[in-house]
Copies of this chain bind each other. A is one copy, B any other.
Amino acid sequence: MQVQDTDLKLLRIFETIVRCGGFAAAQPILNIGASSISEYMSQLETRLGLRLCERGRAGFRLTEEGAELHAAAQRLLGAVDTFHLEAGALRNQLCGVLRFGMIEATLTDKYSPLPAAIREFGQMAPEVRLHVQIDTPGSMEQHVLDGRLHLAVGPFPARIPGLDYVPLYREEQGLYCASTHPLYERASGRVPVAVLSKQRLAARAYLGNQELKLLRMPQAAASVDNVEGRAMLILSGNYIGFLPPHYAQPWVDGGLLSRIDPEHYVTHLDFQIITRKGGESARVVLAFCNQLQVAAKQVSRATRNSK
């Protein structure tokens, strides 16, 4: 096989099919007929000498090799986007596709600088298209390292050499329990650590044992990196867990959740920007990082004033 110029098109088509989860779903997006899609896919498989996916009436499923090739294709297409950004920068134009990652449940945080930064950046560089990906910190670190993402925003407790970290803002984290939980009645008052440490905690895997140490627990009863999943476990009444207040508020208002001892159990998650070290970042990436930092400062100033 030879990765020739034409193969880029095949890879792009493959990537879209995977993203859509099947030929049929990709058809309107690729805007070509079903027969063409089928032909391109078998062409790609022939070139690679690999079966990439099972398909047919039974449904669409990537083979193991298909999944790996998909990751490799994303890295390559990421490199193409990076080239595009760099070429645009040489023309003193900001254009191309900026790929960035963020963790979920930051949308409802009114202190998040992301919306403001995106608005400003969009006005400054209307030619730049954004590709946003919602993912876990660990996965985003990987993707920034291998070029699939240009940058990512989230809490990154580990410090990976090869990445640059820039502090951005903090998000408050409160400890919550459900109305059906034994602690619910006494939640608003003082709750000693000794009591807490006997509870079952739904912890975040990506924070390591940070949460456990704070609550003096030996181990987590459950670990979920997803906020929605964690909220579900807490709402079940079997677990306590940390949530961002802005996310928990609707349930607190509805009487389904209560914050446990807000005086004593406040922690903060430090949100950072990560970018790849070494590879001379395209100007667009720098511009966006800059916008993020400016927005973060504005938000924090506004917050202080309103207090």
- What is the distance, in angstroms, from A94's C-beta to the closest C-beta of chain B? 13
Chain A 81-100, CB-CB to B under 8 Å as 1, else 0, gives 11110111011010100000
Asked whether B80 lies within 8 Å of A76 as measured between CB atoms, the reply is yes
Copies in the complex: 2
A72 within 8 A of B: yes
When distances are taken between beta carbons in the complex, the residues of chain B under 8 Å from A68 are 86, 90
Interface of chain A, main secondary structure:
helix
Closest B residue to A90 by beta carbon equals B65
A72 to B82, CA, bound (A): 9
B161 near A279 with CB under 8 A, answer no
Instruction: State the Cβ distance, A191 to closest chain B Cβ, in Å.
Output: 42
CB contact under 8 A between A48 and B146, given known A5-B5, A75-B79, A162-B162: no
A91 touches B161 (CB 8 A): no
Question: Among the interface residues A7, A79, A81, A95, which one has the most CB atoms of the partner chain B within 10 A?
Answer: A79
Q: Which 3 A-B pairs have the closest CB atoms?
A: A161-B161, A162-B162, A79-B79
- Chain A residues near B (Cβ < 8 Å): 1-3, 5-9, 12, 48-50, 65, 68-69, 72-73, 75-76, 79-84, 86-88, 90-91, 93, 95, 142, 145-147, 160-162, 277-280
